[in-house]
Structure 1
Amino acid sequence: MYRLNIKKLGFAFGLTGTLIYLGCIIVMKTAGQEGTTIFFNSLLHGLDTTSIIKMDVPLIEVLMGIVQTFILWWLIGACIGAFYNAQIKIKK
């Protein structure tokens, strides 16, 4: 059975999460308040996001969000890789 490289899988997850975060930024910048609300309401199965969407996010919060998103998704990917590898039976 093939063993996953935990660090590489974590990195792939981290980059994917970061791309999703950047996609969110693009939606917010291009769609405006109303379009962003409509987009996320439909994405979240009708959950009303009107009161929680903040459009004037300071740059430092955006940068911290990107870093935190990468770290969180790196950890998720690394855990999945480790759990997957732990289940593989090694043939002797």
Structure 2
Amino acid sequence: MYRLNIKKFGLALGLTGALLYVGCVLVMATVGREGTVKFFNSLLHGLDTSSIIRMDVPVLEVFFGIIQVFILSWLIGACVAAFYNAQVKG
């Protein structure tokens, strides 16, 4: 069976998480509050997000958010790859 490279899989998941975060930032920056609420309400199967959407997010907070999501996603990807590899015989 094929073994996953833990660092590469972690990097792939980390970059994917960061890309999704940037996509969220772009949605919020381009469609305004009402569009953002509609987007996330439809994405979350009708869950009302209007009370938790905050549009005045400082740039530094966005930067740290991207970094945090990348790190968490990298760790999740590395764990998934390590657990997968532990189950592979050979």
Q: Which category of TM-score, normalised to the shorter sequence, fits these structures?
A: over 0.9
1:48 has 2:74 as partner: no
Gaps of 5+ in 1: none
- Equivalents in 2 of 1:45, 1:31: separation in Å? 19
Give the structure 2 partner of residue 64 of structure 1. Answer: 64
Equivalence for 2:3? 3
The code of the aligned residue for 1:75 comes to: L
Deviations 1:32-81 (A, max 9, x none): 00000000000000100001000010111001100000000001100110
Find the counterpart in structure 2 of residue 16 from structure 1.
16
Q: Distance in 2 between matches of 1:71 and 1:47?
A: 27
State the distance in 1 between where 2:57 and 2:29 align: 11
Q: Which has the larger radius of gyration?
A: 1
TM-score normalised by the chain length of structure 1: 0.96
Count of residue pairs brought into register by the alignment: 90
Secondary structure, aligned partner of 2:35: helix
2:47 aligns to what SS in structure 1?
Answer: coil
**What's the TM-score once normalised by structure 2's chain length?**
0.98
Q: Give the ranges of 4+ consecutive aligned residues of structure 1 lying more than 3 Å apart after TM superposition.
A: none
Identity %: 71
2:46 is paired with a residue of what secondary structure?
coil
Post-superposition shift, 1:83? 0.5
Q: What secondary structure is seen at the aligned counterpart in 2 of 1:12?
A: helix
